[in-house]
Amino acid sequence: MKRIAILGFALESNAFAPPCGRADFEQRGYYRGADITAQARAEHPAIYSGICGFYAEMDRRHGPAGWQPVPIVHAASQPAGPVEEGFFRELLGEFEAGLQAAGRLDGVYVAEHGGATATHTHDPDGEVFALVRRLVGPDVPVVATLDLHANVSDAMMNSVDILVGYRTNPHVDIFERGEEAARLLEELMAGTRATAYRVRLPLVGPSVTLLTAEGHPYGDLIRLGQSRIDERVMNVTILAGFAFADTPKNGMTVIVTTRDDPALARSLAIELASAGWNDRQRYVPRMIPLDEAVEQARAVGADPMAPSLLFADPADNPGGGGRGNTTYILAAFLKAGVHGCIAGVFFDPALVEQARRAGEGARFRADLNTRESARFSEPLSWDARVVHLHDGRFVGHHGMVEGKTVDLGPSAVIALDGITLVVISKRQQCLSTDFFEALGVDVAGARSIVVKSRGHFRAGFQHLFPPERIREVDVPGLTSPNLANFDWRGLPRPVFPLDPEAGWTPPA
């Protein structure tokens, strides 16, 4: 019976956001031992979907009793700043103790994100992978899944047999990549030798340019890579990376893994990287200014026959380390008298408490961001009415949260003149219409919607909002797609499109 260790650390770090620690991971998802297995096989799991996919594939192949999972620890946080060194060392200690106590292992699955930094290093993911390899030795196969926003280091490449990256953005294939990891690990355990080659480009695409739907450059490149899978090529992973990590390992990365054919891995990786570089001009972001967004929102609010619009605030995306509570769009819409608008989800535990003290139906003076000290999260006060109070827990039906348990913490729906605002206590991005509808807010009847999200919302709103009715608004924030807004310190320069003159020559 195959014995497979399962562990992982999932964090996307924004160098411009406040550091995170144990409390952030315990709030999002910190699972140990048998709890990992229970979550992986639950009807409505809260754990990372890749683990669920891995278990599902292994169960299909062997039956739940035909293989032995050895679950150790899986810790995940909402995207935030660098992880604190003290907590990270404690987590590494848990990984080490669990692997040492595991006994004989036939394989290891590492469910990682790959976009983390720490207060002491730009490569905590590399430390995790190196620890695993040191403890299990050179002969035990190790496969890892990565978010497509991962930044891959030498330590990560050298410590793991196969890196499996997501192929979709929004990330609706996480479960499937876990399944793929299980299949590849099975092949390695059966004796296949994997050979990989990596090419990193001086290309750091702004977040809003990294969608994978038809007609988007990143998606086109991923599909080109998948078309090359055959009996010789095990996996093609193309990682856009995460700009805001601000590390020397940033840059779009192509990884090709073959069945004992290093020459093919190298030639195909270079071919795909060249195709990506030749398409680089398509990674220049195009957003609309705030004043134009205001005019469009006012217009659809005044015309019930006009198609409704969705305005995304990618500069304040909690999915990239944003706080989820800047008020640039909200304040502008309020001052302009926009009506028929719903907005959220807005992270402000103090405002939720204020609404709860007032009670449903009560009018009060809403004070936004009274406890927030992060840059860009300015305070705002406005007359409001409490529409509804909610515990913030529900099961999603759309997009990335379909079938998953979601916990927004104690939440409140408040009316600010013509805008209905959903306020939450646990920071996260707005991933689907469920984040409104579960709290009693009618999305289909709204004239305009403002979401705190970069792009993942598209999978959860696509049944109501096709791409032509979505606007990305250019405002300040910790995750602004305008890369020139930031004081970069670790990013390798020159890099496109931040530096238009950046160049690249394929390896000889």
Number of continuous H segments (helices) and E segments (strands) in the chain:
14, 20
- Residue 241 CA to residue 18 CA, distance in Å, equals 20
CA distances 176 to 50, 255, 319, 403, 496, Å, are: 7, 19, 21, 15, 31
One domain, residues 467 and 329: yes
Q: Is the pLDDT of residue 387 over 90?
A: yes
Q: Which domain holds residue 20?
A: 1-192
Give the residue among 231, 191, 185, 183 at the shortest CA–CA distance from 61: 183
One domain, residues 55 and 128: yes
One domain, residues 165 and 247: no
One domain, residues 172 and 60: yes
pLDDT tens per residue across span 16-48: 999 999 999 999 999 999 999 999 999 999 999
Angle between helices 174-189 and 49-62 (to 10 degrees): 50
**Are the beta carbons of 456 and 306 closer than 8 angstroms?**
no
Question: How many Cα atoms are found within 13 Å in the side-chain-facing hemisphere of 162?
Answer: 33
- With H, G, I as helix, E, B as strand and everything else as coil, classify residue 145: strand
452, two tokens? 């705190």
One domain, residues 280 and 292: no
pLDDT band at 68 (very low <50, low <70, confident <90, very high): very high
**Are the beta carbons of 207 and 218 closer than 8 angstroms?**
no
pLDDT at 78: 96
pLDDT tens per residue across span 228-249: 999 999 999 999 999 999 999 9
**Are the beta carbons of 17 and 321 closer than 8 angstroms?**
yes
What is the four-CA torsion angle of 379, 385, 388, 390, rounded to 10 degrees? 30
pLDDT tens per residue across span 324-337: 999 999 999 999 99
pLDDT at 481: 97
Mean pLDDT of 374-385: 96
To which residue do tokens 């570089």 refer?
A: 277
Report the CATH number at residue 169.
Answer: 3.40.50.360
pLDDT band at 263 (very low <50, low <70, confident <90, very high): very high
**Are the beta carbons of 263 and 32 closer than 8 angstroms?**
no
Last residue of a domain, one of 144, 168, 192: 192
Last residue of a domain, one of 176, 192, 208: 192
**388 - beta bridge partners?**
413
Mean pLDDT of 46-60: 98
pLDDT at 196: 99
pLDDT averaged over every residue in the chain: 98
**Are the beta carbons of 349 and 479 closer than 8 angstroms?**
no
One domain, residues 170 and 263: no
Q: What is the DSSP letter of 108?
A: E
**Are the beta carbons of 377 and 328 closer than 8 angstroms?**
no
One domain, residues 300 and 243: no
Q: Is the pLDDT of residue 463 over 90?
A: yes
Q: Is the pLDDT of residue 483 over 90?
A: yes
Mean pLDDT of 106-115: 99
One domain, residues 476 and 498: no
Q: What is the DSSP string of 473-493?
A: EE---TT-S-GGGS--SSS-S
**Are the beta carbons of 139 and 157 closer than 8 angstroms?**
no
pLDDT at 244: 98
CA distances 162 to 111, 182, 333, Å, are: 12, 11, 48
Q: Extract the runs of DSSP E, i.e. beta strands, from 279-334.
A: 288-289, 309-312
Chain centre to alpha carbon of residue 508:
35
Question: How many Cα atoms are found within 13 Å in the side-chain-facing hemisphere of 445?
Answer: 7
pLDDT tens per residue across span 138-168: 999 999 999 999 999 999 999 999 999 999 9
One domain, residues 130 and 2: yes
Q: Is the pLDDT of residue 134 over 90?
A: yes
- Residue 381 CA to residue 368 CA, distance in Å, equals 6
176, two tokens? 């499937």
Q: Is the pLDDT of residue 508 over 90?
A: no
pLDDT tens per residue across span 281-291: 999 999 999 99
Number of structural domains, the chain? 3
- Residue 86 CA to residue 74 CA, distance in Å, equals 17
One domain, residues 500 and 471: no
Q: What is the DSSP letter of 192?
A: P
pLDDT at 314: 98
One domain, residues 55 and 163: yes
Burial of 444 (0-12, 13-18, 19+ CB in 10 A): exposed
One domain, residues 506 and 380: no
Q: Which helix (H) or strand (E) holds 436?
A: helix 434-437
**Are the beta carbons of 332 and 376 closer than 8 angstroms?**
no
- Residue 327 CA to residue 434 CA, distance in Å, equals 22
Q: How many CB atoms lie within 10 A of CB 261?
A: 18
Contacts of 223-232 with C-beta under 8 Å, sequence gap 24+, read 224/272, 224/275, 225/254, 225/256, 225/272, 226/167, 228/268, 228/272, 231/259, 232/258, 232/259, 232/261, 232/264
